[in-house]
Amino acid sequence: KNCDVSRKEIGEPKKHLLKSTKELLQSCELVLLNSGVLQGYNTTGITGACKIAPVKMLRYELKENIIMKMISRRDFLKASAVVGATAAMTACGGSSSTSTAASSVAASSAAASSAAATNGSANIGVCIYQFADNFMTLYRSDLEEYLKDMGYAVTIVDGKNDQNTQTEQINTFLQQGVDVLVINPVQTTSAQTIVDTVKPSETPIVFINREPDKSVLDSYADKCCYVGADARQSGTYQGELILETETQGDINGDGKITYIMCKGDPENIDAQYRTEYSIKALTDAGKEVECLYEYLDNWDQTTAQQDVANALSQYGDKIEVVFCNNDAMALGALQSIQQANRTVGKDIYLVGVDALAEAVQDVLDGNMTGTVLNDDVGQATAAAEATKLYVEGSKVEQYYWVDYVKVTKDNASEYVK
Ligand code: GAL
């Protein structure tokens, strides 16, 4: 298409994104960003420099010279359409893009950001299922930052992993008359009750991290959405990480992959899908698998550490792979693996999900086979954008999905936080 294409590594998005993007905007006609990561930042002063088309693309899998080939035709056409459209409009918020949820959040936000200044402030109530959760700690601090950057008053409360506590907190927020609720439910099975409680007040709800049934969202149409990541993708990536090892997971060469699984909270769809899809990736690749035991470790490091210690003494060398539904449990597993004098990459493999700083360092050091980035920045950005759309009375999609990214020794340095 005779386009000159240059690729820019943004580095750590929070710190470098604006500067890098501004530089690009000065020299390019079109900037392709993955997910909606630029949104949620105060872009005043730079958006005017160029037409920004927030396009989802496989940024992390790009090879140096094939950027344009990696972008799907649909996304490219959409990007071109956005650029065309901006000639007639002052912002690219007019894009009717629906091909990816993240990009549609991002696309809508250009229009929204100009309105924010005139709309003034709003009060946002955020309910987190439990502060004592490593990943949700990252997520909530991002979310708080982005919402405050948007000029909103934000109150964040700790559900302490107790649905009754969270329900009381929601009632308190309703009495205070918050404008939007962001809810990370303690129990997804209580999501319908939450909606029924909130509905009479017509307060919009952005559900995050723990996906309720679609019927719940449908029951409060136009006032309720979900922002999350498709956990099937993270499970598949975990399986692929094992298939990419030297022995493809079969360290002892007996023709099958023998594993244990440390699982998160059993009611949680993330735990269910990661458990299922990590193994499905192996069997889809034609591998034989044997599960020695599935442990219920509730996302918790100490519980996983104890269970893996027991497993190692019970099953010994039979264990070739330790799958953990999240990094906190993988870090616990690693402690026990090291105590048992086993060596990751040599006589055992270990994978997690989240890309917590410590786990990414372990991947770099070879102490973990790999992890999967659970994009807290992308999800918090999308949640903040959805909140903003509700505050401004704009149209909100029912679902916003943010991609996971496979993290191996080769790319881990990009994810050191
Ligand atoms: C998952 C995450 C876990 C835990 C859980 C809470 O997405 O990977 O570490 O935070 O959410 O619901």
111 compared with 144, residue with greater pLDDT:
144
CA 384 to chain centre: 14
Is 258 buried (19+), middle (13-18) or exposed (0-12) by CB count in 10 A? buried
Instruction: Give the integer Cα–Cα distance in Å for 394 and 108.
Output: 9
184-207 tens-digit pLDDT: 999 999 999 999 999 999 999 999
- Ligand 1 midpoint to CA 252 (Å): 32
Residue 337 has pLDDT above 80, yes or no: yes
Percent with pLDDT over 70 in the chain: 71
Mean pLDDT of all residues in 101-126: 48
- Ligand 1 midpoint to CA 135 (Å): 6
The answer to whether residues 401 and 100 touch, using CB atoms and an 8 Å cutoff, is: yes
Q: How many CB atoms lie within 10 A of CB 57?
A: 21
Instruction: Give the integer Cα–Cα distance in Å for 299 and 22.
Output: 39
pLDDT bracket for residue 334 (50, 70, 90): very high
pLDDT on residue 358: 96
Verify whether ligand 1 is closer than 6 Å to residue 210 (CB atom).
yes
Residue 79 has pLDDT above 50, yes or no: no
Verify whether ligand 1 is closer than 6 Å to residue 404 (CB atom).
no
> For strand 180-183 and strand 123-128, is the pairing parallel, antiparallel, or unpaired?
parallel
pLDDT bracket for residue 18 (50, 70, 90): low
Instruction: Give the integer Cα–Cα distance in Å for 216 and 212.
Output: 6
pLDDT on residue 2: 63
> For strand 405-407 and strand 371-373, is the pairing parallel, antiparallel, or unpaired?
antiparallel
- Ligand 1 midpoint to CA 410 (Å): 24
With H, G, I as helix, E, B as strand and everything else as coil, classify residue 260: strand
Residue 82 has pLDDT above 60, yes or no: no
Verify whether ligand 1 is closer than 6 Å to residue 135 (CB atom).
yes
Instruction: Give the integer Cα–Cα distance in Å for 402 and 417.
Output: 19
Verify whether ligand 1 is closer than 6 Å to residue 353 (CB atom).
yes
Q: Which atom of ligand 1 is nearest to the CA of 328?
A: 9
The pTM score is 0.74
Mean pLDDT of all residues in 234-252: 98
pLDDT bracket for residue 68 (50, 70, 90): very low
DSSP labels, 337-361: HHHTT--BTTTBEEE-SB--HHHHH
The pair of three-digit structure tokens given for residue 351, joined into one six-digit string: 């994978």
Alpha-carbon distances, residue 53 vs 14, 81, 172, 378 (angstroms): 19, 9, 40, 16
Tell me, what DSSP letter sits at residue 60?
G
Verify whether ligand 1 is closer than 6 Å to residue 209 (CB atom).
yes
pLDDT on residue 415: 85
286-309 tens-digit pLDDT: 999 999 999 999 999 999 999 999
- Ligand 1 midpoint to CA 136 (Å): 7
The residue whose CA is least distant from atom 11 of ligand 1 is 209
The pair of three-digit structure tokens given for residue 283, joined into one six-digit string: 């069997």
